[in-house]
Amino acid sequence: MADKADKRVSIIEVLMVILIVGIIVIIIFPSIDAKRKIEIINNNVKPTFNTILEKNQDFYEENGYRPFLSQLNISALNESEYFSYDMTDSTIIAETKSEFGKPGAKIIYNFEQDRWQIGGKEGVVKEYWLGGI
């Protein structure tokens, strides 16, 4: 009968396994999500910002003033699943949509100062994610 008792799993052992699995999930899933979001930013924001910058400069050279974003006729702006775009005289702004995770976070590029920054909802986009841009 002592053999049956030795083969049982105690509640402490079960809890330890659950704890270890939980810790692994807490560590791995955020890093996977961050990598996915960095990839989305690199594949969507960077090429779109480059297109906006090129067309903005071409428009400025032809007309002598900075255009509104709608005047640039860039189809990628309307097709973006994760971001909506806006532009001022010196900045381009990509604002996250709900498909990205949470709406309202902003990736802002000041093309006169060649500077990136984060705005809008805090914590949705991390500053270090822009390192690859």
What pLDDT does residue 22 have? Answer: 92
Those residues whose C-beta lies under 8 Å from the C-beta of residue 37, and which sit 6 or more positions away, are 100, 101, 125, 129
Q: Quote the number of domains for the chain.
A: 1
Q: What is the pLDDT of residue 123?
A: 74
1 found inside a domain: no
Average pLDDT for consecutive 10-residue bins of the chain (133 residues)?
Answer: 67 93 87 86 86 90 88 77 88 90 89 87 77 62
Model pLDDT, residue 36: 87
Residue 133: the pLDDT is: 60
Q: Which domain holds residue 78?
A: 15-132
Give dist(CA 38, CA 15) in Å, integer: 35
Determine, yes or no, domain membership for 50. yes
Does 3 fall in a domain? no
Kindly report whether the global pTM for this prediction surpasses the value 0.85.
no
Find the DSSP H helices in the chain. Answer: 2-7, 11-40, 46-63, 75-79
At 106 the pLDDT is 92
